[in-house]
Structure 1
Amino acid sequence: MGASHSVSLSSTLDPLPSTLQRGLPVVAFFGLLSLATSGFLFLFLTVRLAGWWRKGQLRQGANQFFILIYNLLLADIQQATAFALSTVWVAKNKIEVGTTTCWANGWFVSVGDLASGVFIFSIALHTFVAVVKGGTVSDRAFYLWLLGCWAFVYAMAIVTVRRHTDVYVRAGAWCWVDQRFENDRLWLHYVWIFIAMFGTVVIYALIYLSIYSRLTISSAENRAELTSTKRAAKWMIIYPIVYIVCTLPLAGGRMAAMTGIQVPYWYYCLAGAAITSCGWLDVLLYALTRRVLIFSKEPPPITDYGLNTFGWWQGSTFYGTTTTIEGPLSHGNFSSRHRGSKLSSSALRPLRKRNSDEDYFAAPPEGVITAKTTVEVTSGPVHGYARYAGSEASVMELEDKGATSPSMMTK
C-alpha cells in the first residue's frame, strides 16, 4: 500500500512507505544535528553578548559581522526545527495531516528556509561593502536592515497562512504549503530563495574578482601585502558552494514538481537531508573561517569585519613579525641559544620582506668574532586583531660558536 502512494497527495500518509521508513530517519538525524549545533553556538554567543553588555564593553556598539552570524544561527535553528520534526513521523510511522505537528512542520519550513537564504545573502552583501567598496555601514542602517529582513521573512509566511485555511498539508515527505497554492509557493517563497542563492553567488564572485584584480595590478612589494587577502579569498569560495549544494536540490525538486514531474520519495529524503544540513555546516564553516570573531573573549572591534578576520589558523606568516638572527663565531666551541617570547602589535606596517646578510672575510685576529647575520622580517596589517586574538609577532634565535674571549666571558 505504502509503495503505491503518490508523492503529490496531500492527505495523511499511513503507514510510511519503505522508502520513507529508511529515508526520513536520515533527514531527522541531520535536522537534530543542525538543531543541536546551531542552538549550542547561538546560546554560547548569547552568553558572550550578555557578559559584554554587563561589563559595559558594548557601549560603542557590537561588531556587525558578529551580529550577522548570530542572526544566521537563529535562522538555522528554525530551519533545523522543521526537519527535526521528522522524528515524530518516524516514531508514528505516518505523516498525519491536520495535527499541530504538521502545522509546525510547514511553518518552520517556510520561515527557516527563507530566513537562512536571506541572512546568507546579507552576509555576502555586507562583506562586499567592506572588501570591495572599502566602506562601513552605520549602525542605524545595519539594524534597520536586520529588522527588515526578519519582517520580510515572517510577512511571507503570514501572508500565506492568512490567504488560505489548512494551508499546511503533506507535501511529499513532510508537511508544507498545499500543492494547490502553487503561486504562493513560488512568489512567497521560492522566488526569493533563488534570488538569495544566485545573488550570493554573484556577490562572492565580484569580491573574488576584485581581490585578484588587485593582486594582478599591484607591484611585487604590494602583492606581498595582499597574501593574507588571497588566503581569505580562497576561504570565501566555500560559502556560496555550501549554500547551493544544500539548497538547490530541494528548490529544484519543488520547481520540477510544479511542472508536473513526479518526484520520488527518495529524492525528497536526499534533498531534505541536504537542506537541513545548512545549520551544522554553517556552524562548522564560520567556526573555522571566522573563529577570531566568534570565539574572542573580548568584544571584537566594531570596525573589524573585513578580510583580516578570515582564516582558521594565524601564525607568523599571517599576522605579526618573524625575526631570525644567526651569528656563528670564527673560533672555539662556545654556543648559546635563546628563543624570544611572543609579542603582539595592532599597528604594523604594510607587508614586506627584507633580508640582510653581512659577511666579513678578512682573517680575524685572535679572539675577534667573525659573524654572519641574517634578519628576516615579515609583517602584515592586523587592524586591531591583537585586541581579541593572540598573534605571534616575534621569534628570535641566536647561535654563537667560536673561541671564548674575555669580553664574552663578562656577558
Structure 2
Amino acid sequence: MATNSTVGLTTTLAPLPPVLRQGLVAVAFFGLLSLISSVALFTFLTYRLCVWYHRGQLRDGANQFLLLIYNLVLADIQQAMAFALTSVYLSQDKIEVGTTTCWANGWFVSTGDLASGVFIFAIALHTYFAVVRGRRIGNKTFYGGILGSWLFVYSMAIIGVGLDPKVYTRAGAWCWINKKYDKERLWLHYLWIFICMFGTVVTYILIFLSIRAKSRTRSNVNFPDENGNDPAAMKRAAKYMIIYPVVYVVCTLPLAGGRMASMTGMKIPYWWFCLAGAAITSCGWLDVLLYAVTRHVLIFSRAPPPPQDLGFDTFGWKDAAENFWGIKTTVTGPLGDPSIRRRDRRDFLGRRTSRPTSRQSDEAHFAGHPEGVISAKTTIEVRSGPIINYADSDMSGIEMEDKSDRIHSHNE
C-alpha cells in the first residue's frame, strides 16, 4: 500500500514507509543544496546592486537581464525552501497534517514552482524581443512586468488559501493542495506551469532559428549588426541558450506529469514523487551553476553592465567574453622566444592578460625576426550609456600601475 500510494492520501503518515525514508533523503539534500546556493548568489547580487547604487552607477537603472536573473534566484529560493522542509519529515519520521511545517511546505511549493517557471519564461521573452524583434523594453514597462509577475504568483496562492485555509494537506510524499481540489490544482498552478514550459521552449527555438537565419544572410560576419550585436557572439549565445529550456523541462516535467496523471485516477508510487521532487528542487542549484558559469562576466563583473545590454559577448565558460566592453585587439606575428619571461596580469573583469616584463623584450623579439609579418586588428564597438567612474571602481594596484605605464610610454 505504501509503495503504491497515491496523492489522495491526505491524512498524517507516521511512521514513514521505507521508500519515503530513503527517497526523501535525496529530496531534502537537493532542496538544501539549492537553498544554500540560491541564497548565496542572491546575497552576492544584492550586495553588488547596493554598491553600484551607492556609487551612483545605476542612474539609468540596472541591467534588465541581470535583474531578471536576480528575480529568478529569488523564486528558486522559495522553491528550494519547500523541498528543504522535507528534512523535518525525516527527522520526525512522519508527515503530520495541520502543522506549520506542512502548511509552509504547501505554500512554498505553490509560490516557488510557479514563480520559477514565470521568470524563466520572462527571461526567454525578454531575449526574444531584443534578438528577434530588435526592441528594447522601457524601464517602466520592465519594472511593471516584474511587479505584475510577482502579484500573479502570489494571487494564485492566496486564492487557494482563500478557498480553504486548511487547503494544504499531505499530498503523497509532502504537503500541498488537498486532493479534493483537483480543479483548483489545475487552474491555479499546473495550467500556468505548462504554459510557461511550452512558451519557454517555443521562444528559445524561435531565438535560435532567428540567430541562425541572420548569420547566414549577413555578408560580413566580422562587424556588429544593426542592433549592435556581434554575430559571432550571438551564434555562441544561441548554443548556450539551448541548455536553459532543456534543464527546466527535464527538472519540471516529471512532477508536473505525475500530478496530471494522478488527476486521471492513475496511481503514482512514492518513489516516483521522490525522484520528481529531487529533480524539480534541483532547478535552484542548476540555475545558479548555469548562470554563474555561462554568464560569469555579466554576473560577477565589478562594474555594472549597461542597463539594456543583453551581454551576448558574456556567453561562454567563465572568461570567454573578451570583448564584452566593446574593444577587442588581436595582434599576430612571429613566434616569440620561449625563454623570455612573461608575467600575468588580470584586468578589472578578472581576465588574465599576458604582458612582457619590459618594452625592451618586445623590441628584441621583433628585431630578431626582420622578415616576420606583424599585423594588428582592433574592433571598437561604441555604445551609448553612462561613463563609468573608474576613480570609484575596484581597480587593483597592478591595474593602476599598468595604466600609468601606458600613459608614460605614450608621452615618450
TM bucket by the smaller chain?
Answer: 0.7 to 0.9
Contiguous gaps of at least 5 residues in structure 1: 329-333, 345-368, 391-411
Amino acid at match of 1:107: W
- Aligned to 2:328, the other structure's residue is in SS state coil
Greater relative CO (CA pairs within 8 A, separation 6+)? 2
TM alignment of 1:124-163, pairs within 5 A: 124-163=124-163
- Aligned to 1:181, the other structure's residue is in SS state helix
1:380–1:188: structure 2 CA closer, same or farther, 3 Å change rule?
farther
- Aligned to 2:332, the other structure's residue is in SS state coil
1:342–1:86: structure 2 CA closer, same or farther, 3 Å change rule?
closer
User: Is this contact kept in 1: 2:315–2:321, CA < 8 A?
Assistant: no
State the alpha-carbon separation in 2 of the partners of residues 382 and 250 from structure 1.
Answer: 47
Name the residue aligned to 1:314: 320
State the alpha-carbon separation in 2 of the partners of residues 221 and 33 from structure 1.
Answer: 42
User: Is this contact kept in 1: 2:114–2:192, CA < 8 A?
Assistant: yes
Name the residue aligned to 1:73: 73
Contiguous gaps of at least 5 residues in structure 2: 225-229, 348-368, 396-412
State the alpha-carbon separation in 1 of the partners of residues 138 and 293 from structure 2.
Answer: 27
User: Structure 1 residue 268 and structure 2 residue 276: aligned?
Assistant: no
User: Is this contact kept in 2: 1:327–1:373, CA < 8 A?
Assistant: no
1:389 is displaced (CA, Å) by 12
1:370–1:175: structure 2 CA closer, same or farther, 3 Å change rule?
closer
Equivalenced residue count is 363
1:220 is displaced (CA, Å) by 5.5
Larger radius of gyration: 1
* Aligned with residue 325 of structure 1, among 333, 337, 340: 333
Name the residue aligned to 1:349: none
Name the residue aligned to 1:358: none
* Aligned with residue 237 of structure 1, among 219, 239, 242: 242
- Aligned to 2:330, the other structure's residue is in SS state coil
Amino acid at match of 2:246: I
State the alpha-carbon separation in 2 of the partners of residues 60 and 221 from structure 1.
Answer: 31
Name the residue aligned to 1:219: 219
User: Structure 1 residue 259 and structure 2 residue 268: aligned?
Assistant: no
State the alpha-carbon separation in 2 of the partners of residues 327 and 110 from structure 1.
Answer: 61
Amino acid at match of 2:107: W
State the alpha-carbon separation in 1 of the partners of residues 217 and 29 from structure 2.
Answer: 49
CA RMSD of aligned residues (A): 3.1
1:306–1:4: structure 2 CA closer, same or farther, 3 Å change rule?
closer
1:315–1:301: structure 2 CA closer, same or farther, 3 Å change rule?
closer
User: Is this contact kept in 2: 1:304–1:384, CA < 8 A?
Assistant: no
Return the TM-score normalized by structure 2.
Answer: 0.81
Return the TM-score normalized by structure 1.
Answer: 0.81
Name the residue aligned to 1:117: 117
State the alpha-carbon separation in 1 of the partners of residues 284 and 260 from structure 2.
Answer: 23
1:308 is displaced (CA, Å) by 2.4
- Aligned to 2:245, the other structure's residue is in SS state helix
- Aligned to 2:375, the other structure's residue is in SS state strand
1:13–1:149: structure 2 CA closer, same or farther, 3 Å change rule?
same
State the alpha-carbon separation in 1 of the partners of residues 283 and 112 from structure 2.
Answer: 10
State the alpha-carbon separation in 2 of the partners of residues 193 and 55 from structure 1.
Answer: 39
State the alpha-carbon separation in 1 of the partners of residues 217 and 211 from structure 2.
Answer: 10
State the alpha-carbon separation in 2 of the partners of residues 274 and 382 from structure 1.
Answer: 44
1:374–1:248: structure 2 CA closer, same or farther, 3 Å change rule?
same
TM alignment of 1:5-404, pairs within 5 A: 6-219=6-219, 221=221, 226-312=231-317, 313-314=319-320, 320-326=328-334, 371-375=371-375, 377=377, 379=379, 381=381
State the alpha-carbon separation in 1 of the partners of residues 246 and 332 from structure 2.
Answer: 41
- Aligned to 1:321, the other structure's residue is in SS state strand
- Aligned to 1:53, the other structure's residue is in SS state helix
State the alpha-carbon separation in 2 of the partners of residues 103 and 335 from structure 1.
Answer: 67
Amino acid at match of 1:228: A
User: Is this contact kept in 1: 2:82–2:109, CA < 8 A?
Assistant: yes
State the alpha-carbon separation in 2 of the partners of residues 168 and 252 from structure 1.
Answer: 20
Amino acid at match of 1:279: G
- Percent identity, aligned pairs only, is 58
User: Is this contact kept in 1: 2:10–2:171, CA < 8 A?
Assistant: yes
